[in-house]
Structure 1
């Protein structure tokens, strides 16, 4: 057996073991890596605000803390408004349940000619096996829900801490990254970092502004229709429609429609019509103007990036897909040489029309043409020594004289013939 064979076998087994261990570790740390990725993009989003406050003389740590405090207060206010709205609706439904049940029983009795009573229905519901099993499963699922809530809070705390450190120690982190790179690569990394901050911050800014406009517009409608919990519903529509890609608009509009339906079914129809009209206004008027200088990606590219991000990373990929693609597009665009586009209707999408000439332009053209003809006639008259204005009259007199002379000669010839015949 060759000497190198045992050593090669040990090396191969070591590589396989290292690969297996790396795959297992990556699988175990997937959640942490996603949290770090979310924290990094969150730090990029708040980097402009932190940098402005630091430029005014404030320490970066304090500036980052104030920004996060503002975000926490806004999130807590939103959750409080939404929770109070849901709690109020649940209490209203519980208090009105007997009336709903009576209306259903009356409809069934009138339609199917039965004699149901509310007491009988309540007894059947209380002693049903389905309700008992549902209550047992719900009690057992409380522990699972509690564990999920605690896990979500721990994950939120992890994201907050990582994003705080990324934003507060941004310059130090950039120095650490650039210290292991050559100078040429350092400039590229810093430029990519700057583009990422610009695009991610611009994405958050534009989305926040559109959420504000959407919330105010829907608040005016809901307040006009006298729908309860109009402020909470307006905040819900603004945030959900802008920060949940693809399906956020439908989720945002469903809750106001449901609440409006409890007041009047026609109110739900009006809310649906307003949501559809406002969505068109936002897509074709508001969003292009706000995102032209911040994100600047085509809507089809944005939709495709959201779909790809969802397929790769789930909800996290859907959230960070648009700023990530905008950053990549802006970074690669600096290295792509662009040329002037040919003036062709296949490029512009329509045939370019020559602008119609006005009446004044046509009159000026006719006058210019007449002036050119008069100049040519004057030139020819100067060469022959005649007056251009009298050339026509002279020609007429010459023609008249020739005609008269011809008539005189013809008369003399006719008189001579008559005299010869008489002789």
Structure 2
């Protein structure tokens, strides 16, 4: 049904005979479509009724009027023109095909080269809410998968940063002696490399020598086993030698042995690569540690940056103190073990002492693991030697737990013993040895933040 313009059907007021400007009433105009003027209407024509003056005024302008349709009409624009006795709807160019119209409707200017953004969709809209929630869940899942895929790399990075922070106090002490930071970093890192090389020379040759001796004496050991009466009795009852011979001659035994050798080779290569990666990353982090600290401090607001920097320096200092204290405890344990093993006469005293020192780096259970390993080796040397090793390590662990470790760690991290145990257990359950190693300085940092930030804020509320 065509749209029609309403018109005034009220009768015109009676004309005054004395009024010279009185004109006879005009008939009502025919209905016209929007944007059109009655035919025959010129610039001076006026309609009956109160709106006649406004209509007459509107017809005096010759400038066309442009109107843009709403987004619900498909984004098209219309142009309405009036005057001159002729008019009609003229469609503007579509913004999809006309670049000028596109820029005009988008509101392009110097500050907004791509136009002004429209009103956002309502946040309460079900589609927007569901899409946002689904996108958040998908993003979280992808982040978790990414972390799981690179967890080994992240562990190496964390260990390297931990070692760099632990070695930084030594670098700063050399800097206070008027040595440039580059030279100080190089000297400290050279010391670390020499420690690794020394450990390798202390452990690898004895182990290789013993393996060679075992292989050379293997036929003798087999002959002794065959001549043993107890072994002969077991072989007569259970056919042990026959079963061992069948297992050795089985083709699957060779395949399994080859697979085991390949697996052991992979473990060795992976360990060497991880060690080299940690050393390189440690050198990089140690050299650029001031820059890294400044970068993270600048992420804090300017009004709180100074306090964040002070707290950050204190946390890094405690981590460095923990690393130095742990190394000191391990060095004391290794030295004491070497002196005792040398006096008792246990073979390979130096490799066993280095083993004790390295296992002492593990919180809580490291000292026990080292003591068990050394005691087992000592029992092979003799029953009395093994018992002496057990007694020595039991006494030394009591001294370390109640005298050495508390005094060193009290100055380094200042964490209560209960918190230390809980943190080490949680860290070990999450990341194994690395988690247990990082748990105590992390607990020290959390305790510092709670004491210096959270508790004062709670008191001010």
* TM-score of the two chains, using structure 2 as the length reference: 0.64
Deviation at 1:287, TM superposition (A): 1.7
Partner of 1:51 in structure 2? 172
Q: What does 1:122-133 correspond to in 2, within 5 Å?
A: 125-129=244-248, 132-133=251-252
Counterpart check, 1:193 vs 2:307: no
Go from structure 1 to structure 2 and tell me whether the alpha carbon gap of 1:199 and 1:99 turns closer, same or farther (over 3 Å shift): same
Residue pair 1:216, 1:234 contacting (<8 A) in 2 also: yes
Go from structure 1 to structure 2 and tell me whether the alpha carbon gap of 1:114 and 1:236 turns closer, same or farther (over 3 Å shift): closer
Counterpart check, 1:89 vs 2:207: no
Counterpart check, 1:20 vs 2:144: no
Number of aligned residues? 333
Q: What does 1:130-149 correspond to in 2, within 5 Å?
A: 132-149=251-268
Deviation at 1:105, TM superposition (A): 3.5
Give the counterpart of 1:235 among 337, 344, 354.
Answer: 354
Partner of 1:420 in structure 2? none
Counterpart check, 1:301 vs 2:419: yes
Counterpart check, 1:279 vs 2:397: yes
Q: What does 1:395-406 correspond to in 2, within 5 Å?
A: none
Deviation at 1:201, TM superposition (A): 1.8
Following the alignment from structure 2 to structure 1, what is the Cα–Cα distance between the partners of residues 428 and 357? 22
Go from structure 1 to structure 2 and tell me whether the alpha carbon gap of 1:101 and 1:316 turns closer, same or farther (over 3 Å shift): same
Go from structure 1 to structure 2 and tell me whether the alpha carbon gap of 1:81 and 1:264 turns closer, same or farther (over 3 Å shift): same
Deviation at 1:44, TM superposition (A): 1.1
3-state SS in 2 of match to 1:66: helix
Deviates more, 1:24-33 or 1:152-161: 152-161
Partner of 2:342 in structure 1? 223
Provide Cα deviations, 1:7-31, integer angstroms capped at 9, x if missing partner: 6665555444433332322222222
Deviation at 1:32, TM superposition (A): 2.4
Following the alignment from structure 2 to structure 1, what is the Cα–Cα distance between the partners of residues 301 and 272? 41
Deviation at 1:41, TM superposition (A): 1.4
Counterpart check, 1:204 vs 2:323: yes
Q: Which has the higher helix share?
A: 1
Q: What does 1:174-193 correspond to in 2, within 5 Å?
A: 174-193=293-312
Residue pair 1:257, 1:272 contacting (<8 A) in 2 also: yes
Partner of 2:182 in structure 1? 61
Residue pair 2:325, 2:409 contacting (<8 A) in 1 also: yes
Q: What does 1:15-414 correspond to in 2, within 5 Å?
A: 15-108=136-229, 112=233, 125-129=244-248, 132-240=251-359, 242-335=360-453, 336=455
Following the alignment from structure 1 to structure 2, what is the Cα–Cα distance between the partners of residues 62 and 113? 67
Deviation at 1:187, TM superposition (A): 2.2
Following the alignment from structure 1 to structure 2, what is the Cα–Cα distance between the partners of residues 328 and 8? 36
* TM-score of the two chains, using structure 1 as the length reference: 0.69
Following the alignment from structure 1 to structure 2, what is the Cα–Cα distance between the partners of residues 272 and 94? 30
Residue pair 2:234, 2:240 contacting (<8 A) in 1 also: no
Go from structure 1 to structure 2 and tell me whether the alpha carbon gap of 1:322 and 1:13 turns closer, same or farther (over 3 Å shift): closer
Following the alignment from structure 1 to structure 2, what is the Cα–Cα distance between the partners of residues 68 and 205? 15
Deviation at 1:45, TM superposition (A): 0.4
Residue pair 2:247, 2:253 contacting (<8 A) in 1 also: no
Residue pair 2:375, 2:389 contacting (<8 A) in 1 also: yes
Go from structure 1 to structure 2 and tell me whether the alpha carbon gap of 1:23 and 1:197 turns closer, same or farther (over 3 Å shift): closer
3-state SS in 1 of match to 2:364: coil
Following the alignment from structure 2 to structure 1, what is the Cα–Cα distance between the partners of residues 245 and 129? 73
Following the alignment from structure 1 to structure 2, what is the Cα–Cα distance between the partners of residues 189 and 153? 38
Residue pair 2:427, 2:436 contacting (<8 A) in 1 also: yes
Residue pair 2:428, 2:436 contacting (<8 A) in 1 also: yes
Deviation at 1:165, TM superposition (A): 2.6
Where relative contact order (Cα < 8 A, 6+ residues apart) is larger, the structure is: 1
Following the alignment from structure 1 to structure 2, what is the Cα–Cα distance between the partners of residues 236 and 271? 15
Deviation at 1:285, TM superposition (A): 1.7
Residue pair 1:45, 1:200 contacting (<8 A) in 2 also: yes
Deviates more, 1:189-198 or 1:98-107: 98-107
Residue pair 1:195, 1:331 contacting (<8 A) in 2 also: no
